[in-house]
Amino acid sequence: MSEYRTKLLIIGSGPAGYTAGIYAVRSGLSPLIVSGYQVGGQLTTTTDVENFPAFPEPINGTELMERMQKQCQNLGVEMVNDQIIEADFSKNPFLLKSEQHTYVAESVIISTGASAKKAGILGEEKFWGFGVSACATCDGFFYRGKDVAVVGGGNAAIVEALHLTHFAKSVTLIHRRDSLRAEKVMIERVLNNPKITVEWDSVVEEIYGEEQPRSVTGIKLRNVKTKQAKDIKLDGVFIAIGHQPNTDLFKAQLALDEQGYILTQNNTKTSVAGVFAAGDVTNPKYKQAVIAASMGCEAALDAETYLNNK
Ligand SMILES: Cc1cc2nc3c(=O)[nH]c(=O)nc-3n(C[C@H](O)[C@H](O)[C@H](O)COP(=O)(O)OP(=O)(O)OC[C@H]3O[C@@H](n4cnc5c(N)ncnc54)[C@H](O)[C@@H]3O)c2cc1C
């Protein structure tokens, strides 16, 4: 087991982690990024990104993240391909561990992201990124004039469904119960929107489609009360049953909200001095790459101030 010692350890290699690395190295902090299993983060699971500034043409998500990684490398950010499994923030320097290494760090930026919860539907995994998405803000634009479905019945599903009506020809909201769990005003908006049809008491049993090019063409739906099944032809399925922040290993170390997101104050400060958090891991609402990147910048500047005052 080898040991790394650093002034600033950045956990995660999504837009938040890489941006933190870029700012920290330019402040002379010699940061070390531990990339995690998903090098480049969530954007590597998508195809076209059309809303990251400075790219007038759509850019592939993996390419965008490779560019950020390259920028880090060119500036001299050290990177280790590793996954943190243990953290001890009870004393400074902080001690973190993976299966192979220990990391001793004077300050830490946590940018481990949040994962969209999957519904476990047959075909969901196969078409993920090819007609199945968990982000209407990101992918809704690609469904202009098309038919889509949203799976879920809470606030998130309602927001996704309403957002999709700006592009799609029709939106089918599929909920396993007979009422929606959201603010009354939001529910009324859904029920009064002519583009939205709600399939109550229903579950999606299968998402299916074409192999070449891989794309969704329909779903098989089952009513849980009548047990009747039917097919709906459509072009996209949005899974909106919530996100899981990747914070299990920090549960005993940091203040988290009831959903497990890291609580921050004065921008990126966590409940432990010297530990900062940025990106989706702190953000139950705005899960977007540009926001994660801007928080990564803030966290690096906050870490610099902390280390200067130390
Ligand atoms: C399919 C899809 C399409 C999207 N499209 C868009 C889009 O078009 N535009 C847009 O702005 N946003 C889009 N998003 C949202 C965007 O990807 C996220 O908001 C953004 O990636 C969040 O960045 P982050 O750095 O906070 O976390 P992430 O990108 O999730 O990165 C988290 C990083 O932490 C690492 N990690 C996790 N646990 C550990 C650990 N224990 N030890 C070490 N490392 C760890 C992971 O390996 C990963 O590198 C999309 C998301 C998805 C899923």
Measuring from atom 44 of ligand 1, which residue has the nearest CA? 36
17 CA from centroid of ligand 1 (Å): 10
Q: Is 116 in the pocket of ligand 1 (CB under 6 A)?
A: yes
114 CA from centroid of ligand 1 (Å): 7
Which of 239, 260, 283 is at the close of a domain? 239
Q: What's the token pair of residue 147?
A: 């038919």
Give the model confidence (pLDDT) of 228-239 as tens digits.
999 999 999 999
283: burial class by Cβ within 10 Å (0-12, 13-18, 19+)?
buried
- Residue 160 · residue 238 · CB < 8 Å: yes
Which of 239, 274, 297 is at the close of a domain? 239
Whole-Å CA distances, 64 to 47, 58, 80, 91, 129: 10, 10, 20, 37, 16
Whether residues 145 and 99 fall in one domain: no
Output the pLDDT for position 273: 98
* Residue 183 C-alpha from the chain's centroid: 24
Whether residues 14 and 30 fall in one domain: yes
Which of 239, 270, 295 is at the close of a domain? 239
The domain total for the chain is 2
Output the pLDDT for position 183: 83
Give the model confidence (pLDDT) of 87-114 as tens digits.
999 999 999 999 999 999 999 999 999 9
To 5 degrees, how large is the angle CA 306–CA 20–CA 3? Answer: 75
87: burial class by Cβ within 10 Å (0-12, 13-18, 19+)?
buried
- Residue 111 · residue 215 · CB < 8 Å: no
Domain extent, residue 47, equals 2-115+243-309
Whether residues 48 and 35 fall in one domain: yes
Residue 116: half-sphere exposure toward Cβ, Cα within 13 Å: 27
Measuring from atom 37 of ligand 1, which residue has the nearest CA? 112
Bridge partners, residue 10, by sequence: 33, 109
Q: Is 111 in the pocket of ligand 1 (CB under 6 A)?
A: yes
Q: What's the token pair of residue 290?
A: 């540009």
Whether residues 208 and 269 fall in one domain: no
Q: Report helix, strand or coil for 251.
A: coil
To 5 degrees, how large is the angle CA 143–CA 148–CA 150? Answer: 120
What CATH code is carried by the domain that includes residue 181?
A: 3.50.50.60
13 CA from centroid of ligand 1 (Å): 8
Whether residues 256 and 228 fall in one domain: no
Whether residues 130 and 224 fall in one domain: yes
Instruction: Please name the residues in contact with 156: beta carbons below 8 A apart, sequence gap of 6 or more.
Output: 240, 241, 242
**pTM to 2 decimals?**
0.85
Which residues of the chain, if any, have pLDDT below 50? none
Using CA atoms, how far apart are residues 234 and 218, in angstroms rounded to an integer? 5
The preferred substitution site among 22, 35, 42, 276 for testing ligand 1, maximizing ligand atoms within 8 Å of CB, is: 42
* Residue 226 C-alpha from the chain's centroid: 36
Output the pLDDT for position 137: 85
Using CA atoms, how far apart are residues 74 and 194, in angstroms rounded to an integer? 52
203 CA from centroid of ligand 1 (Å): 28
Whether residues 284 and 220 fall in one domain: no
Bridge partners, residue 186, by sequence: none
Output the pLDDT for position 241: 94
For residue 287, give the nearest of 111, 67, 125, 30 by alpha carbon.
111
Q: What's the token pair of residue 103?
A: 């990391």
